[in-house]
Structure 1
């Protein structure tokens, strides 16, 4: 369902049915709230009728005792109505909060299952908007939308029916003659406001995406002196957001005065017609009564007439009738915002970007044999990154992959972890195609260390274990084994030190060391290092190289390397060029070929080797 599809309908009933499916676990609360709306409508309708009776029977003809009794009854009804209103408000909000909790959990679980390709194409700020503010807006559909609108409409129907039943139909008909015009204005408002609020939600999403992206990349903004340029772009987006909101406010500001004018006209008609008829009928009745008494008629004249109590009750009814009509503007405002937000949330829920996990083979024990057989892959279907590559790594071996930027090195890592699906060919681990393996089982046996290490705003301990069932003493022993315990112990609070957002409180090299420790404590069968030793200082490199030697021992390792020391120790080296394997062998074998690897070695590694010597 496209977010831009306004379609001219005030409500998308199909979308509304989807929303209401989330009510099923809370049917008792939902139906209870519906019953309360009926009760509240009955209580609200009873008051003007009782007030009419009090005026006509205990005020015009003074009766203090009757007046007191009925005043107590009306006060009791008001108190009872307030109690029921409390339960209705609490129940509606309780329902809304439970539904958005369930919906947010479903949405986040769905997002977690997406392929990385989806995140490559979707701004993170947009997803944040969907998961936070859009879902929060959906809660108002129940708290201030569907239930309240149903209650208001039911109240309107009950009050109109009561007015025609209890009062002079001519007075009621004249008083409510403006209602059709009001219903037409309400309908027109519904149609216009939906389009306006779709625009509002679009601009909110754009604003969130821009802010999130530029705050994350603030160092780039400042390094390249882009503050003024980015501010101008932000002003433009912010202006569009303001314009979208003003458009919705414009429709809203027209609708409210229309209701007020219609209400005033309705009350004016009631007073004019009711007062006129009351005066005329009073004169007629007085004359008939005089004739009745003077002429000695057997049949008394009809004493029914429009009374002061009836006119008063009709005026009260008109105010009560137009109050929900006036509030419908707010209700439709809220409901349309919620409908637009839900439309966007369901669009993500209906997005099929999951990796098809049809595999049912659970690998309890993985040796670490890896085989690529004529694998072809492209991030776009018409642009192949890997053009039919094949290689094999025996269990316990270390494979190094080298090549120019864009050769396809990191793509191999992504495919082995099944972050993307291959176009053709097969990838096998221990002779089993990874498509036939349970995805969770596959990834349980893999550990990946990336060049750009991501750490959560949490303690070092939680960043290492990622909340898995790993004891603290196991982490401390692993840190000592690979030689990173000294730097951790030197930090304030040691393993309980909070590294803040993205680990900015520690250096790049220290983040790399924590990534190695995180990989090691997971005890993987296959270790993948994606350029994990680039862009670090010499001291950190020595610590990291020592850590690499420790954690690669006895397990299959795939290393995309920029450092000569790592490459020279590899059992096999793949040289890649434009998505193809152009050479394969050990360090000495490749140098002997005097080909791609030799040229790469002379450009990138020879000076490094001479410096070490």
Structure 2
């Protein structure tokens, strides 16, 4: 069954979730601050590299000038950057042309401003002087000089290119270090935060009431602490890192490009409306596709879990082919949903690339005309082509990181919904140094759901050291008595007293430490036998062995190759039912509780094993208050008192002989099990 929760999609960006995630940074917040600052460094480096390229081209590689007629006002205003030729004719470097309006060109040629002293050293004459220090040489004449001569004449240009090249390499190296530091800091901060979050989830889960686990499958809760936290981890390591870089780069380009050259910046910005429209459409369609993939993946997980859990039934009734067909249908549905999702990406990513190519083509088209007209240089055009490519980087990142952002917000919402579940309250006001074992149920009413009462007006008083058995048909309320005594569930009416104190006033840890429970379905943890007996507490090894001896478990444990260090597999599957039960008894003895609860403790074992366990029970119950829940009525004959439950009410109470003499409910139950002996 697919829950509505699996179909929910959070916002692409949810400030509440981000704020709560940031709270897990604790003392590592400075790492994200530094990473953000490094984003500014990376942005500056990305913008600086095309600028260096432009200056290398315009000032050194293709250092050209044009002849213009300037008015006296223009000549005075730009006196530092222009070279007088004659009267109102001036040589103006190409990169300064955009500053002069209007422009009155004398011709269409490009000129090179050659150093007059170096030209004299090589005997170069016949060119018009430009100012006091330069000669005006047509650019096409440079090809007439020998290579060595040209190298000498343009030595300043070579030195300028080398200086800018070194500066270029230094910036690249700084960007490399900054990028490494940014990724390292965000990853470390993210992983530490996720470590705290996982620990917090596990600790929180352990303190949630049992009622919570009744309505939430274990698989879903495991997913919260694993898959969902992993999605948030990827958000830190991938999305946050990209955000610092992309956000600052996009902001930097939007601010800097109009200042650098508003004409070419306008060409780039004209693509924003169609790009924005395409992004909005993409966001809407990909959200729906993402939801469909999640739902179908959840169906696959649910089907696999169900099939593997019931594999014996599947094989017993020869359902392999039918189940494979059902899985194929579900898998095919997932494939189609995933394929649709990939198609959306397959359309949007090339569309972004196409728009980028269109922008670059437009820059070249308009830039070429502006080069001829004067306001744009070849270096500037080259720089803006690089800027256009950088401008689309954040948009491409959006397509690649969208899934991660969507997943992280959805996962974050589910994780924090779990963490917002109210925990059990453990503290109590009653002062009890050690539980003696007196128990009283006084007018107790209890229901798991609303007023569907499972226990109705229960009144029982049990003295310290007394053995009381609770019997009845399935659903009579026997296990509910134990659940309410241990405060796994809270009663709605009445009181349960332990040693005269209301259990609601007793600290839960104190209460439960005084109660030992041995269930029908014994749960063993992965590890070894001694760890499963003392449950990682400080119980000494000698006490563990003594507990095993009293519980009749020492015999089979010491026969194992590694004894008490013998490995226990998941849920103890490498041990028999009886062996697991004996370990559970040893565990109860090791913790020495004043109250012992046996819930169907011998219902799943053979007669021989039951005899061993019964002997262990007799040793275990000595000096302790005991509540015994049993279907096998033969196991309760020795109880001091037997309480008979029927549909949540106490219908009979007394010893075995007394109840048999009354020939009531207990007599009928006993007769059903042992009719041949009555």
Distance 1:501 1:591, change over 3 A: same
Q: Secondary structure at the match of 2:631?
A: coil
Compute the displacement of 1:4 (Å). Answer: 4.6
The RMSD of aligned alpha carbons is 2.1
Note the alpha carbon deviations across 1:282-329, whole angstroms, 9 max, x for none: xxxxxxxxxxxxxxxxxxxxxxx2100000000011111112221121
What is the total number of aligned residue pairs between the two structures? 583
Q: Is the 8 A contact 1:140 1:335 kept in 2?
A: no
Task: Specify the alignment match of 2:235 in structure 1.
Answer: 141
Report the structure, 1 or 2, having the larger helix content: 1
TM-score normalised over the length of structure 2:
0.82
Matched, 1:69 2:71: no
- Tell me the SS of whatever aligns to 1:568: coil
Pair 1:101-2:195 in alignment = yes
Q: 1:442 aligns with which of 511, 514, 519?
A: 511
Q: What do the CA deviations read for 1:264-292 (whole angstroms, capped 9, x no partner)?
A: 000000000000121233xxxxxxxxxxx
Offset at 1:211?
A: 3.3
How far does the alpha carbon of each residue in 1:236-277 deviate from its partner, in whole angstroms, 9 at most, with x for none?
443444344334323322221111011000000000000012
Preserved contact between residue 197 and residue 340 of structure 1 (Cα < 8 Å)? no
Match of 1:275 among 368, 371, 374: 368
Confirm whether residue 562 of structure 1 aligns to residue 631 of structure 2. Answer: yes
Kept in 2: contact 1:400–1:574 (CA 8 A): yes
Matched, 1:384 2:453: yes
Selected match of 1:152 from 236, 240, 246: 246
Contact 2:186/2:240 (8 A) holds in 1: no
Deviation string 1:90-118 (CA, Å, 9 cap, x unpaired) is: 11111111111111111122221222222
Task: Verify the 8 A CA contact 2:12 2:405 in the aligned structure 1.
Answer: no
Give the drift of 1:459.
Answer: 0.8
Larger radius of gyration: 2
| Unpaired segments ≥5 residues, structure 1 | 282-304
Alignment equivalent of 1:257, drawn from 350, 354, 359 = 350
Aligned position for 1:129: 223
Q: Choose the corresponding residue for 1:248, options 341, 344, 348.
A: 341
Q: Tell me which of 381, 385, 388 is aligned to 1:311.
A: 381
| Aligned CA distance change for structure 1 residues 183 and 154 (closer, same or farther; 3 Å) | farther
* Correspondence for 2:395 among 318, 321, 325: 325
| Residues 218/470 of structure 1: CA separation in 2 closer, same or farther (3 Å cut) | farther
Equivalent in the alignment of 2:47: 45
CA distance in 1, matches of 2:290, 2:23: 24
1:506 aligned residue (555, 575, 578): 575
Gaps of 5+ in 2: 64-153
Distance of 2:322 and 2:458 partners within structure 1: 44
Alignment of 1:149-548 (within 5 A): 149-167=243-261, 169-281=262-374, 305-352=375-422, 354-357=423-426, 359-361=428-430, 363-548=432-617
| Cα separation, 2, equivalents of 1:205 and 1:537 | 41
Counting strand residues as a fraction of each chain, which structure ranks higher? 2
Counterpart in the other structure of 2:210: 116
Alignment CA distance shift 1:98-1:244 (3 Å): farther
CA–CA distance in structure 2, aligned partners of residues 601 and 201 of structure 1: 53
Aligned partner of residue 573 in structure 1, secondary structure: strand
Contact 1:149 1:328 in 2 (8 A): no
Q: Distance in 2 between matches of 1:418 and 1:236?
A: 45
